[in-house]
Amino acid sequence: MSSPFEGYEVEARLRPVAQACAFDLDRTLSAVVALEARVPDDAFTASTLGTERVGNGSVISPNGLVLTIGYLVTEAVEVSLTLNDGRRVAAHVLGSDPVTGFGLVQALEPLGLPALPLGDSRTLKANAAVIIAGGGGRAHCAAGHVLARMPFAGYWEYLLDEAILAEPVHPHWSGAALLGSAGELLGVGSLSLQRQSQTGVTPLNLFVPSELLPPILDDLARGKRPYPPRPWLGVLAQDIGDRVVVVGVSPGGPAARAQLQSEDIILAVAGRAISGLADFYTQLWAQGPAGVTIPLQVQRERDVFNVEIRSVDRTALLKKPKFN
């Protein structure tokens, strides 16, 4: 069986120096593990996220709770954790939260690893030193720095009030740990993005802030929904210039049934003009719980028209974890 660490090594020049850390680097890195998940072929997310998913997770409790990014384990029926010494341990999905983007799994046997303390990324400033760690030890972590904290709107109906942007980009960012100066967990890797500068295009990573976890941890660990279900349309949209433009729709979702099309421009929600993708989501979610009908004003080429779309609870479309 191949190792989930292979091919994800960080360039030697980018790796942190243990002597420069105010904590035991190797011990801390042992709490970051590789995570592999298998999803059924008929799962709702199989066509977009794949059925074989590989990323990372961070041990956050002595009893084997592992925090990761939710898209790795959404609808997963099998999860395996690989420790830095190569030992594999089966795990069970407890839940994933579409609001924060976190996922939580439970190791099914003792890991014998330290738990990473949860930090608060709100103390981070631009250029603050961090370590970006994937499973596999020193060869799989990078000494980096924070670029910014800023709002992030994802095209899949996702919004973070303050995402963390950091560089250098990690070759295995999904679920990677963002570690602070004391070895605390400050964020969980979600995306690889790009920024344009005078010298060209530079890749960077986006992290979900760790302080979003404590308010929902108990619910997530019990397999309960931390938040009421938001209305979901299944519309994929981006900010293009000063307009919110549809770039696709989720097959079988409400937007697809309402026949929204790529290149449609969303002008307003419930009669209120929208100023961008984040504003679109804010107004969409303000209409009520999942199931509420969403009135949209849409422009298609030169035509402007109104359409009402009955929203759904996206999580109702997903395969649920089966608890033992």
**175-231 tens-digit pLDDT:** 999 999 999 999 999 999 988 777 778 899 999 999 999 999 999 999 899 999 999
User: In whole angstroms, how large is the CA radius of gyration of the chain?
Assistant: 20
Helix (H) or strand (E) holding 186: strand 185-197
d(CA 86, CA 83): 5
d(CA 308, CA 301): 19
Domain match, 28 and 106 both = yes
Domain match, 108 and 80 both = yes
- Kindly tell me the sign of the dihedral angle through the C-alpha atoms of 92, 94, 96, 101: negative
User: pTM value?
Assistant: 0.95
Domain match, 95 and 177 both = no
Helix (H) or strand (E) holding 141: strand 141-154
pLDDT given at position 3: 83
pLDDT given at position 283: 98
The CATH number of whichever domain residue 125 belongs to comes to: 2.40.10.10
Judged against a pLDDT cut of 60, whether residue 235 lies above it is answered with yes
Looking at the domain assignment, is residue 229 inside a domain?
A: no
Strands (E), the chain: 32-38, 52-59, 65-69, 78-82, 88-96, 102-107, 129-133, 141-154, 158-167, 177-179, 185-197, 200-209, 235-240, 243-249, 265-269, 272-273, 293-300, 303-310
Looking at the domain assignment, is residue 79 inside a domain?
A: yes
In sequence order, the 6+-apart residues with CB closer than 8 A to the CB of 110 are 64
d(CA 205, CA 131): 12
Looking at the domain assignment, is residue 5 inside a domain?
A: no
Q: Are 152 and 137 in contact (CB under 8 A)?
A: no
Domain boundary among 221, 255, 275: 221
Domain match, 100 and 157 both = no
Looking at the domain assignment, is residue 7 inside a domain?
A: no
pLDDT given at position 323: 58
Domain match, 41 and 85 both = yes
Domain match, 136 and 201 both = yes
Looking at the domain assignment, is residue 11 inside a domain?
A: no
Domain match, 95 and 167 both = no
Q: Tens of pLDDT along 15-70?
A: 999 999 999 999 999 999 999 999 999 999 999 999 999 999 999 999 999 999 99
Number of domains in the chain: 3
The whole domain housing 255 covers 235-312
Judged against a pLDDT cut of 60, whether residue 1 lies above it is answered with no
Helix (H) or strand (E) holding 25: helix 25-29
Domain match, 199 and 241 both = no
Domain match, 33 and 107 both = yes
Looking at the domain assignment, is residue 322 inside a domain?
A: no
The CATH number of whichever domain residue 296 belongs to comes to: 2.30.42.10
Domain match, 78 and 106 both = yes
Looking at the domain assignment, is residue 320 inside a domain?
A: no
Domain match, 137 and 205 both = yes
Domain match, 24 and 97 both = yes
Looking at the domain assignment, is residue 53 inside a domain?
A: yes
